[in-house]
Chains A and B, each alone.
Chain A
Amino acid sequence: MSGRTSGAAAAALALALLLGYAFWLLGHPASLPSDDALFFVRAVTRFSVLELSPHFPGYPAFVLAARGIDALQHDPARSVFLTGALAALSIPPALYFWVRGAGVAPGFAWVAAVCALFQPSLPGVAVSMLSDPLGIALALWCLVAVQRERFGVGGVLMGLCVAARPSCAVLALALFAALLALRRAALWTCALGFGAVGAAAAAFVLAADGLAYFAEGVRFTAGHFEIWGRGAGAGSWLRDVLGLAGGAVNAAVLAGALGFALRSLQARALATAAALCMAVAYAVWILCAQNPDSARHAVPLLFLALGIAAIGLGQSESRGLAASVAALLFASTLQSFVSSVDRGQRAAPLERASAELAGRAGTLLITQWGVEWMREQHPELRIFDPYYAASARLAAQSETKGEVLRLSTSPLAGPWVALRELPARFPGEKSLTLYALRADPG
Chain B
Amino acid sequence: MTESGASQARARIGRTRGVALALLACALLAREGQAYSYSAAGAEPLIDAREATLAALEAKDPAAARKASEAARAELDYLDQHFGTELGKALDAALAAGDTKRVDRIYLEGFTTEVRRRIAAAGENLKDYQSAKTLVVRSKRFLDLVSPQLPEQRRASAQKALADCLAALGNPGVFGVGAAPPDPAAFERAAAELLRSLTAP
Q: Is A10 an interface residue (CB 8 A)?
A: no
Q: How far is the CA of A204 from the CA of B179 in the complex (A)?
A: 11
Partner of B51, one of A222, A371, A388, A410: A388
| A352-378 with Cβ < 8 A to chain B | 361-362, 364, 366, 368, 371, 375
Q: Is A16 an interface residue (CB 8 A)?
A: no
Q: Is B171 an interface residue (CB 8 A)?
A: yes
Chain B proximity of A221: nearest CB distance (Å): 9
Partner of B24, one of A52, A379, A387, A397: A397
Chain B binder among A78-86, A145-153, A170-178, A206-214: A206-214
B159 touches A375 (CB 8 A): yes
A387 touches B152 (CB 8 A): no
Interface of B is mostly: helix
B147 touches A212 (CB 8 A): no
Q: A368-B37, A408-B31, A412-B31 are in contact. Are A379 and B152 (CB under 8 A)?
A: yes
Chain B residues within 8 Å of A101, by CB: none
Q: Is B134 an interface residue (CB 8 A)?
A: yes
Q: How far is the CA of A14 from the CA of B60 in the complex (A)?
A: 67
Partner of B55, one of A35, A48, A390, A396: A390
Q: How far is the CA of A154 from the CA of B124 in the complex (A)?
A: 48
| A202-230 with Cβ < 8 A to chain B | 203, 206-212, 215-216, 219-220, 222-224, 226-228
Q: Is A125 an interface residue (CB 8 A)?
A: no
Q: Is B172 an interface residue (CB 8 A)?
A: yes
Q: Is A419 an interface residue (CB 8 A)?
A: no
Count, A-B residue pairs, CB within 8 A = 165
Partner of B177, one of A207, A362, A386, A393: A207
Q: Is A413 an interface residue (CB 8 A)?
A: yes
Q: Is A382 an interface residue (CB 8 A)?
A: yes
Chain A residues within 8 Å of B133, by CB: 48, 50, 209-210, 212
Chain B residues within 8 Å of A67, by CB: none
Q: Which residue of A lies closest to B25 (CB)?
A: A393
Chain B proximity of A55: nearest CB distance (Å): 5
Chain A residues within 8 Å of B25, by CB: 393, 397
Chain A residues within 8 Å of B24, by CB: 397, 414-415, 441
Q: A375-B144, A390-B54, A390-B55 are in contact. Are A223 and B41 (CB under 8 A)?
A: yes
Q: Which of A212, A226, A415, A416 has the most CB of B within 10 A?
A: A212
Q: Is A389 an interface residue (CB 8 A)?
A: yes
Q: Which residue of B lies closest to A437 (CB)?
A: B28
Q: Is A392 an interface residue (CB 8 A)?
A: yes
Q: Is B130 an interface residue (CB 8 A)?
A: yes
Q: Is B32 an interface residue (CB 8 A)?
A: yes
Chain B proximity of A152: nearest CB distance (Å): 25
Q: Is B63 an interface residue (CB 8 A)?
A: no
Q: Is A380 an interface residue (CB 8 A)?
A: yes
1/0 contact string of A381-418 vs chain B (CB within 8 Å) = 01111111111111111100000000011101111100
Q: Which residue of B lies closest to A206 (CB)?
A: B174
A380 touches B152 (CB 8 A): yes
| A253-296 with Cβ < 8 A to chain B | 291, 293
Q: How far is the CA of A383 from the CA of B144 in the complex (A)?
A: 9
Partner of B147, one of A211, A219, A375: A375
A210 touches B51 (CB 8 A): no
Q: Is B9 an interface residue (CB 8 A)?
A: no
Q: Which residue of B lies closest to A202 (CB)?
A: B174
| A16-75 with Cβ < 8 A to chain B | 35, 46, 48, 50-52, 55
Chain B residues within 8 Å of A391, by CB: 50-51, 54, 104, 145
1/0 contact string of A409-442 vs chain B (CB within 8 Å) = 1101111100000000000000000000100011
Chain A proximity of B86: nearest CB distance (Å): 22
Chain A proximity of B135: nearest CB distance (Å): 10
A50 touches B148 (CB 8 A): no
Chain A residues within 8 Å of B55, by CB: 389-390
Q: Which residue of A lies closest to B16 (CB)?
A: A442
Chain B residues within 8 Å of A395, by CB: 148
Partner of A383, one of B29, B147, B171: B147
Q: Which residue of B lies closest to A223 (CB)?
A: B41
A50 touches B36 (CB 8 A): no
Chain B proximity of A232: nearest CB distance (Å): 14
B129 touches A210 (CB 8 A): yes
Chain B residues within 8 Å of A361, by CB: 152
Chain B proximity of A16: nearest CB distance (Å): 43
Q: Which residue of B lies closest to A442 (CB)?
A: B20
B148 touches A384 (CB 8 A): yes
B36 touches A227 (CB 8 A): yes
Chain B proximity of A26: nearest CB distance (Å): 30
B41 touches A227 (CB 8 A): yes
Chain B residues within 8 Å of A368, by CB: 32, 34-37
1/0 contact string of B20-51 vs chain A (CB within 8 Å) = 11011101111110111111111000010011
Q: Is B137 an interface residue (CB 8 A)?
A: yes
Q: Is B95 an interface residue (CB 8 A)?
A: no
Q: How far is the CA of A364 from the CA of B148 in the complex (A)?
A: 8
Chain B proximity of A67: nearest CB distance (Å): 14
Q: A387-B36, A441-B20 are in contact. List 10 more A-B contacts (CB 8 A).
A: A55-B38, A207-B174, A207-B178, A209-B133, A212-B134, A382-B148, A383-B147, A393-B28, A394-B58, A414-B28
Interface residues of B (CB under 8 A from A): 16-17, 20-21, 23-25, 27-32, 34-42, 47, 50-52, 54-55, 58, 100-101, 104, 129-130, 133-134, 137, 144-145, 147-149, 152, 155-156, 159, 166-167, 171-174, 177-179
Can you give 6 A-B contacts (C-beta < 8 A)? Answer: A50-B137, A51-B137, A207-B177, A210-B171, A219-B41, A222-B41
User: Top 4 nearest A-B pairs by Cβ distance?
Assistant: A223-B41, A414-B27, A368-B35, A210-B172
